[in-house]
């Protein structure tokens, strides 16, 4: 299997990016909802730190994934069952990337405006001044972009099932 994409299939690296992100997000989203329900304690702080480390890793992963995407050919769409289908697929993919970037950057900005220093692995960074109003705004963005991501994932999976059952075009083969 080739590392780079071909015109009709994703390469090894794009596949890895896709499935690693899937596995991490499927754990990280419920983890976030679980976290907010916890009482304030040392355990909660520890879990929040894990949530942040995973979140910042997803941010890096998505940036590398997008760089890789633009260096590679895009596999062509196998089916064109109805008008606008390719546009809908592209819009879904574009918004999936946007929502992941929004979630991760809003989480980071919430913490930074709270006056906390974050470990970005290669360096540590913190703002000099706090702004609790902006911290709250970014937290609202964090919550709503999670709802957006969940809806887009559902749509994405329903589309794959429809492709298999109705269009019978085995779209999954492109990315597995």
Cβ 56 to ligand HEM shortest distance, Å: 5
DSSP calls for 50-71: HHHHHHHHHHHHHHHHHHHHHH
DSSP state of 131: -
DSSP state of 124: E
User: Judged by CB under 6 A, does residue 15 bind ligand HEM?
Assistant: no
User: Judged by CB under 6 A, does residue 67 bind ligand HEM?
Assistant: no
Letters for 137-156 (x = contact with ligand HEM by CB under 6 A, - = none) are -----xx--x------x--x
- Give the whole-angstrom CA distance, residue 88 versus residue 156: 10
User: Judged by CB under 6 A, does residue 58 bind ligand HEM?
Assistant: yes
What is the torsion angle, in degrees rounded to the nearest 10, for the CA atoms of residue 39, residue 28, residue 59 and residue 8?
-170
Task: Count the residues of the shown chain that bind ligand HEM, applying the rule CB under 6 A.
Answer: 41
- Give the whole-angstrom CA distance, residue 145 versus residue 142: 5
- Give the whole-angstrom CA distance, residue 161 versus residue 157: 6
User: Judged by CB under 6 A, does residue 22 bind ligand HEM?
Assistant: yes
In the list 75, 101, 127, 141, the residue contacting ligand HEM (rule: CB under 6 A) is: 75
Q: Are the beta carbons of 127 and 115 closer than 8 angstroms?
A: yes
Cβ 29 to ligand HEM shortest distance, Å: 5
Letters for 88-117 (x = contact with ligand HEM by CB under 6 A, - = none) are -x---x--xx--x--xx--xx--x------
Please list, in sequence order, all residues whose beta carbon lies within 8 angstroms of the beta carbon of residue 139, skipping any fewer than 6 positions away: 106, 110
**Which residues of this protein are in contact with ligand HEM, per CB under 6 A?**
18, 21-22, 25, 28-29, 32-33, 35-36, 48, 51-52, 55-56, 58, 69, 75, 77, 89, 93, 96-97, 100, 103-104, 107-108, 111, 118, 142-143, 146, 153, 156-157, 160, 171-172, 174-175
């Amino acid at each position: 299997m080739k590392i780079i994409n071909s015109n009709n299939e994703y390469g090894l690296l794009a596949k890895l990016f896709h499935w690693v992100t899937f596995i991490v997000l499927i754990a990280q989203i419920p983890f976030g909802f679980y976290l907010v329900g916890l009482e304030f304690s040392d355990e909660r702080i520890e879990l929040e730190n894990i949530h942040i480390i995973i979140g910042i890793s997803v941010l890096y992963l998505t940036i590398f994934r997008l760089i890789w995407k633009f260096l590679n050919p895009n596999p062509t769409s196998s089916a064109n069952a109805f008008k606008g289908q390719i546009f809908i697929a592209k819009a879904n993919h574009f918004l999936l990337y946007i929502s992941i970037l929004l979630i991760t950057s809003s989480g980071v900005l919430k913490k930074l405006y709270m006056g906390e220093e974050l470990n970005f692995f290669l360096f540590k960074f913190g703002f000099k001044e706090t702004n609790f109003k902006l911290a709250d705004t970014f937290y609202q963005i964090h919550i709503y972009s999670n709802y957006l991501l969940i809806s887009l994932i559902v749509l994405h999976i329903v589309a794959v099932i429809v492709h298999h059952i109705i269009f019978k075009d085995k779209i999954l083969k492109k990315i597995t």
